[in-house]
Structure 1
Amino acid sequence: MNTRGRLGHDGPLNRDHKLTERQTGALKKPVHNPREVAEIVAIQALGFIAGDPERLGLFLAETGIGPETLRNAASDPQFLASVLDFVMRDDATVTAFAKASELHPTNIAAAHQALGDPKWERDVP
């Protein structure tokens, strides 16, 4: 059976065709590292905080950073942990962020835990 005429090219597979980086962008491996996912959630939370001037003012006052240093601070994992600390301390804020980000509150809590201090392990002699 000749597929050349029906498919409109040199057969079902054209081996000379090279995919561009833009075309393969969707094929890149998804993020599975819990810490990386938690950082993404924290950055989303920072955007959520920044979207409400009153909430942003409170956050900036509590963290002691200024609006001009906010972008640079966002690359610090400890700062990202403080973002999720701020969101998690109030049920209404967690609920609002969960709704805005379409994340379940337990996912936000898991991200908070992943960015926080390592779980306590007792010292074993």
Structure 2
Amino acid sequence: MKRSVKLTSDQAERIALNMLAWLVSNDELLPIFIGATGAGQDTLRDRAGDPEFLAAMLDFLMMDDQWVMQACDAQGLAYDQVAQVRHALPGGSEMHWT
């Protein structure tokens, strides 16, 4: 079983950036992300290091358990680590009741 640990903001950003790289390489999911967010290639490139953009990308991934599982499997992460990463990024500590 993969183990989860408490993350610093730098660790969270690095993991989120790896998740973004995975998303960009996913030919099936990338068009859905672009369609849902309106982010184009320029936005992906220009905002890749922006913690708020990375947080929004993780919010998108967390809309579907299968997407989370695929991304985590590709990165060797525990499934619950996406939520931990999101929590460590801007706005992650806010409560959402959706």
**TM-score range normalised by the length of the shorter chain:** 0.7 to 0.9
Q: Which runs of 5+ in 2 are unaligned?
A: 1-5
1:109 aligns with 2:86: no
In 2, Cα distance between equivalents of 1:51 and 1:119: 29
Superimposed CA distance per residue, residues 7-29 of structure 1 (whole angstroms, 9 cap, x where no aligned partner): xxxxxxxxxxxxxxxxxxxxxxx
In 2, Cα distance between equivalents of 1:33 and 1:110: 7
Superposed CA RMSD in Å reads 2.0
- C-alpha displacement of 1:108: 1.6
Superimposed CA distance per residue, residues 29-83 of structure 1 (whole angstroms, 9 cap, x where no aligned partner): xxx9611111111111111111112211111122212113311111211100011
TM-score when normalising by structure 1 = 0.64
Higher relative contact order (CA 8 A, sep 6+): 2
Q: Which runs of 5+ in 1 are unaligned?
A: 1-31, 121-125
**One-letter amino acid of the structure 2 residue matched with residue 109 of structure 1:** A
1:53 aligns with 2:27: yes
Bigger Cα Rg: 1
SS state of the match for residue 49, structure 2?
A: coil
Pair 1:46–1:115, CA change in 2 (3 A): same
In 2, Cα distance between equivalents of 1:98 and 1:91: 10
- C-alpha displacement of 1:100: 0.3
Aligned length: 90
The partner residue of 2:10 within 20, 28, 36 is: 36
